[in-house]
């Protein structure tokens, strides 16, 4: 495998699908966390100034957690799947076409809502957030059959 090998095809994730569920869960969990802090403050007897300071610091902490979560979510959503001559690579994970055991697409609630699907290729490798207008199953089947003929 040459070090400078260029991928034959690069598949970006559907960003809307990759980001929407994460944002919803981040907002809900951060809200619950902040409400828990406020409830604890209400049950403890602090002076007004101390309680106000704790609420402000807690709110800043929650906003910081939300900002970090959003940054990591958008960073993950910008990663792409690279299809090479003999393998598929995503970040540091790779799977050789001859090792792919499944190319059947699956959809969950958010996939149906946002018009995407995913494919579990086996070997703990899942292609997620594929737009419905891309027929990846046919392409993968061709790559798998070609790879098995060659090796």
Residues 117 and 88 in one domain: yes
Question: Is 37:51 a contact under the CB 8 Å cutoff?
Answer: no
Question: 90 lies in which domain range?
Answer: 80-150
What residues are paired with 122 via a beta bridge? 125
Q: Whose structure tokens read 């003929």?
A: 149
The predicted-structure confidence for 92-114, as pLDDT tens digits, reads as follows 999 999 999 999 999 999 999 99
In a domain, 106, yes or no: yes
pLDDT at 114: 93
Contacts of 86 (CB under 8 A, 6+ apart): 1, 96, 97, 98, 147
Residues 101 and 135 in one domain: yes
Residue 137: how many other CB atoms lie within 10 Å: 15
pLDDT at 35: 95
3-class SS of residue 10: strand
Residues 126 and 71 in one domain: no
Domains of the chain: total: 2
CA distance 89 to 97: 11
Structure tokens at 24: 């919803």
Query: Could you say which of 76, 92, 110 is where a domain stops?
Result: 76
In a domain, 39, yes or no: yes
What is the band of 148 on the pLDDT scale with cuts at 50, 70, 90? confident
């Amino acid at each position: 495998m040459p070090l400078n090998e260029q991928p034959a095809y690069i598949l970006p994730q559907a960003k809307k699908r990759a980001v929407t569920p994460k944002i919803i869960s981040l907002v809900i969990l951060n809200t619950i966390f902040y409400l828990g802090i406020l409830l604890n403050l209400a049950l403890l007897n602090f002076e007004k100034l101390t309680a106000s300071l704790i609420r402000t610091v807690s709110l800043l902490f929650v906003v910081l957690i939300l900002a970090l979560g959003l940054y990591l979510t958008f960073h993950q959503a910008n990663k792409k799947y690279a299809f090479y001559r003999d393998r598929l690579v995503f970040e540091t994970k790779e799977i050789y076409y001859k090792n792919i055991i499944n190319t059947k697409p699956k959809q969950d609630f958010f996939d149906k809502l946002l018009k995407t699907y995913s494919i579990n290729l086996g070997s703990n490798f899942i292609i997620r957030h594929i737009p419905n207008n891309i027929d990846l199953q046919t392409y993968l089947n061709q790559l798998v059959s070609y790879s098995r003929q060659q090796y």
